[in-house]
Amino acid sequence: MEIMDEAIQALHPPRPAASRRRIRRSDSSSIDTVSLSEQRSVRRSSSSGASSTRQRSNKTRFTELLLEHGEKQLNDWAVRASSSSGDGNRASSMRLKQTDGRMRLCTRSVVFEPGHSSKGIVRIPFRFMISCPSLVEGATLSAVTAGDTSLNRDAEIIFAVSSTRHFVMKSNNIICPYEQIQTPTDFRFAFLHSSPSSALALAKALYELEKSSAPSDARFDPRVIENHDVGTNTRLPKALAKMDQKTVLQRIFDPPVEIPFESIHFLHVHEQPLSPKVKCTVKQPLMEHVGILMVTDCGFYFQRFHGGAVTNDGGVKSKPHSFWSIRDMKAIARRYDGLKDIGLEIYLARREGCANKSLYRSVLLSFESVEVRESIVRILLSQKQQDPLICYTDKCFVESALQQWQSGQLDNFTYLLVLNSAAGRTFHDLSRYPVFPWVLSNYSEHDDERYSSGENIFLDLTNENNFRDLSKPIGALNEERFVEFQKRYHGMVQQQNMGQGQSEKQHHVQDSPFMFGTHYSSPAYVLFYLLRVMPEHMLCLQNGKFDVPDRLFHSIDSTFQSVLTNPADVKELIPEFYDPDCFDFLINAMGLQLGNLQSGERVNDVLLPSWAKSAKHFLRLHRAALESDFCTQRLPKWIDLIFGVTSRGSRAKEARNLFHPISYLGPSDLNAIQSEEERNRVELQANEFGIVPDQLFGKEHPPKSASWDSIDGVVLPEHPGF
């Protein structure tokens, strides 16, 4: 199978990702899933740029990253908000005096986003509310707003919330740790264009659910609805009045596919559906958007259950639909959702006139089952017979990539991207982010004497001492440290041998001995590197805080020294370290206030090695090191460790490459667990710890100069349905 150049190009660190990260500097919007209104504006007018600019000017500051991890927005309303507290000395930014904006009802909180960016977004968690949300008379508001015809008759009834604690975020549109206000505060929301009754009904049910069923430190789990009665006094919206509240809440969090799909939004009059409506989730880093998908002969339509069309930076547009054209689809890859083999990533060519540098983008979809996913794949392939799709996770694709790498048609960087994609790694999932090696051993910073003397410091790529040993995993590079890992491993083996007389039920695969208690790739490690371009993701993962300054990514050399000496640090790198176009992750262009090190030095731009003059220069030299003859000759050994014969099993033990057993779990292991609660727990642990990529090769990877007598060494399993 011949690999298309454009399909290979689509695997490079996506410029959409880089643009998404820069959004917060310029307030522009890079759309990954294209809303139908944009599609029509492109068709109606060649001056689509002006239309796009108008839409961008109204961009909201709110994203679901500002919520607790896993929390969802359900609805929002135009309101006029005010607040009062017992502490009159609080800063005015913490108090609201007749401020217009939008109140957003979310699964675990009420959020208010002021219309003016100088005022912070306020999040009021249900667990900190003093009492259930209620409606109160709005006499005070009426006096203040006398003669204001923008309020309807229901504006006299105010949606009221009282809380002991709330959070303020993005004041003056600055991304920084959330301010926690621990002062009892009363909030009042006057609905400007609608009645607060429907909001109150849902807010009451969510409040009761949170207070009665969820511990204060637990993540929201929609499954608790099944065992919880939220009471009979809550007034429900008319459309749902005949349902009991358990059913209402169940439909909110897990709506039936029977929800009408609005075919009026089809782009073409004669467009024909090719699939029934199927439940589908659009996956993004730390976020997901649930809805229904319909495939037509023109493309994929996605309708969110709650909110509008999904944007590339995690925001939501006002229109409820998103669209991906089949004509633009160039490649696909079967993906995982957690440990379940139910995902599908679709790579698309960008529309003409797109301002983004990259010609490609992708979207990651997750379905309810393998069977549903494969039915969508079959439909898609049948529509692309004249322009066949590449599938990155097919065995033949890996075989072709290997041959092209050996013949010199693929460089090392691109080949590693191909292997990552084939092994289930994607830029949309932080738990399966592409992994790249540390290739150098010399990242030292300026030597004061040499630097002050004006002596040129350069990176000698012909000196073997400047390179890392790619035949060893990170955890085994420092022999002195590895001795401690080995002692722990042998201790576990002894304990296991002593317990062999116990029943099998007391032994679990997760109790197997291991050498390394942390992994080389995890969501926390990815965001450690990408802090300066994805700060809101880091705040979401860290519960509204940045880490201690000394633990932040502030120096390449100190990070490398940590992976050599720290017993809890064996992390590898990410592709951005070898792509000069992704230099922004090394500079603090957003002006983030990251604190000071214990030495007193401010954490700002990442400190570079002495041989690098700038972030771009560092990445160019780092890329040159990856492509060097020395690295090329030894890269197959590292591929064996990550994607090949020494990545798991007895060969991994021999190669000193054995991680905690939870990192090796897959779909079959998950299905073997009978308890749903245990399955959810194990899947969460695996996602947070780090997951070993799929094994691609069943024998040692050949060097670039040698030919493989048999291509049967590629062992990537065929996915169900193919």
The mean-pLDDT minimum among 198-202, 513-517, 663-667 falls in 198-202
pLDDT at residue 34, rounded to an integer: 44
Q: What is the mean pLDDT of residues 287-298?
A: 92
Residue 171 reports pLDDT greater than 60: yes
Residue 140 reports pLDDT greater than 60: no
Q: Regarding predicted confidence, which is higher, 347 or 53?
A: 347
Q: Where do the structural domains in the chain lie, given as residue ranges?
A: 5-57+259-392, 71-218, 412-713
Q: Both tokens of residue 645? A: 């014969």
Tell me the per-residue pLDDT of 585-606, one tens digit each, with 9 for 90 and over.
999 999 999 999 999 999 999 9
Residue 27 reports pLDDT greater than 50: no
Q: What is the mean pLDDT of residues 529-539?
A: 96
Q: What is the mean pLDDT of residues 159-174?
A: 95
Tell me the per-residue pLDDT of 305-320, one tens digit each, with 9 for 90 and over.
876 555 544 444 556 6
Residue 536 reports pLDDT greater than 50: yes
pLDDT at residue 352, rounded to an integer: 54
Q: What percent of the chain is modeled with pLDDT above 90?
A: 61
Give the C-alpha separation, 285 to 527, whole Å: 10
Question: What kind of architecture, by CATH, is found in domain 412-713?
Answer: Orthogonal Bundle (1.10)
Q: What percent of the chain is modeled with pLDDT above 70?
A: 73
71-218: which CATH topology? PH-domain like (2.30.29)
- Quick check: do 71-218 and 412-713 share a fold? no
Asked whether the whole model's pTM tops 0.75, one would answer yes
Give the C-alpha separation, 412 to 414, whole Å: 6
pLDDT at residue 375, rounded to an integer: 97
Q: Is residue 177 within 8 Å of 162, Cβ to Cβ?
A: no
Q: How confident is the model at residue 42 (pLDDT cuts 50, 70, 90)?
A: very low
pLDDT at residue 683, rounded to an integer: 94
Q: For the domain 5-57+259-392, what is the CATH code?
A: 2.30.29.30
Residue 122 reports pLDDT greater than 70: yes
pLDDT at residue 40, rounded to an integer: 38
Q: How confident is the model at residue 220 (pLDDT cuts 50, 70, 90)?
A: very low
Beta strands in 152-267 (DSSP E): 157-163, 166-169, 179-181, 185-191
Map tokens 């976020």 to a residue: 287
Residue 224 reports pLDDT greater than 50: no
pLDDT at residue 496, rounded to an integer: 83
Residue 105 reports pLDDT greater than 90: yes
pLDDT at residue 317, rounded to an integer: 54
Give the C-alpha separation, 614 to 611, whole Å: 9
The mean-pLDDT minimum among 390-399, 505-514, 530-539 falls in 505-514
Question: If you average pLDDT over every residue of the chain, what do you get?
Answer: 81
From the CA atom positions of the chain, what is the Rg in Å? 27
For 635, other C-beta atoms within 10 Å of its C-beta total: 22
Tell me the per-residue pLDDT of 369-413, one tens digit each, with 9 for 90 and over.
999 999 999 999 999 988 888 999 999 999 999 999 999 999 999
Residue 709 reports pLDDT greater than 90: no
Tell me the per-residue pLDDT of 401-459, one tens digit each, with 9 for 90 and over.
999 999 999 999 999 999 999 999 999 999 999 999 999 999 998 654 545 454 567 89
Long-range contacts of 341-346 (CB under 8 A, 24+ apart): 341/370, 341/666, 341/667, 341/719, 341/720, 342/366, 342/367, 342/368, 342/369, 342/370, 342/372, 342/373, 343/283, 343/367, 343/373, 344/373, 344/376, 344/377, 345/426, 345/428, 346/300, 346/380
Q: Regarding predicted confidence, which is higher, 19 or 623?
A: 623
Q: Both tokens of residue 327? A: 């004509």
Q: How confident is the model at residue 14 (pLDDT cuts 50, 70, 90)?
A: low
Q: Both tokens of residue 539? A: 């705040």
Q: Is residue 94 within 8 Å of 124, Cβ to Cβ?
A: no
Name beta bridge partners: 321. Answer: 303
Three-state SS sequence of 353-409: CCCCCCCEEEEEEEECCHHHHHHHHHHHHHHCCCCCCEECCCHHHHHHHHHHHHCCC
Tell me the per-residue pLDDT of 617-644, one tens digit each, with 9 for 90 and over.
999 999 999 999 999 999 999 999 999 9
Give the C-alpha separation, 688 to 551, whole Å: 18
Q: What is the mean pLDDT of residues 461-466?
A: 94
Residue 20 reports pLDDT greater than 70: no
Give the C-alpha separation, 339 to 284, whole Å: 16
pLDDT at residue 292, rounded to an integer: 92
Q: How confident is the model at residue 511 (pLDDT cuts 50, 70, 90)?
A: confident
The SS3 call for residue 644 is: coil
pLDDT at residue 1, rounded to an integer: 45
Give the C-alpha separation, 238 to 229, whole Å: 20
pLDDT at residue 509, rounded to an integer: 57
